[in-house]
Amino acid sequence: MRLTKARKSCVTTMMKDTICEAASSLVEQHGVNGLTMGRLAQKAGMATGTLYNYFHNKEDLLNFFHMRLVEPYHQAIEKTMIASLPAPQKLRQVLQAVLEQAVKYKEIRQLVVEMDYYSDLRKTSGPRLLQMFTTIFEQGIREGSFRPHDPLHTARMFRGTLRELFDLQLGGASDKEINRFAGTLIHTFLAGISVRDGTSRKRSKTSKKPPAE
């Protein structure tokens, strides 16, 4: 009996993955309005009735997309958080995880956002992300990497700028532009809150050219 249930669960997961891949392909080709349950069943190579065995309606499909989109993102950040790394390096790795997930789930994210599901996505993932970012900034203050500041407010700003990164992607920005934005983002945050020993300032003073005669 257990083996039968395990096989059934495996088949269900495989079928849902197949359906989601077909839905992503339809959104990429025809946009969100082109995604219907009938067209999705045809794209996935199954009868419409079979499709409804796995997803009762489009909202049910979106809930599954939500899980696929958010959980890998959260897991990647949580893995970084428990690593024995200084806070600045953790921030860089978090940003890298965000970029990787944004590329991997680009069509899914577009589907979720364009169908006005973003507010629900934000309500479920926002507080969790905020707490994780706050913890990283608190670590940086404790270890002396970051100057004293309000870690919660900084976490809110960091989370907000990550949303702008996703908006750039959905707006059709090139990978080069998105990577440039990400580089500016991490540089701005680290330059703004990092503890400095004055070395760079001394170097800049000694490197000035003498005035022309």
| Domain ranges for the chain | 1-56, 58-195
CB atoms within 10 A of CB 180: 13
Crossing angle (nearest 10°) for helices 151-170 and 87-104: 30
Alpha-carbon distance of 186 to 157, in angstroms, equals 12
Residue 201 phi/psi, 5-degree rounding, is -70, -45
Output the pTM of the full model: 0.68
Closest alpha carbon to 156 in 171, 142, 140, 137: 137
User: What does the pLDDT look like over 13-70, one tens digit per residue?
Assistant: 889 889 988 887 887 787 767 788 899 999 999 999 999 999 988 778 877 877 777 7
Closest-CA residue to 166 (of 80, 209, 108, 213): 108
Report the topology of domain 58-195.
Tetracycline Repressor; domain 2 (1.10.357)
The dotted CATH code for 1-56 is 1.10.10.60
Structure tokens at 170: 């959905």
Mind listing the pLDDT tens digit for each residue in 98-133?
A: 787 766 666 666 666 655 554 555 666 778 888 999
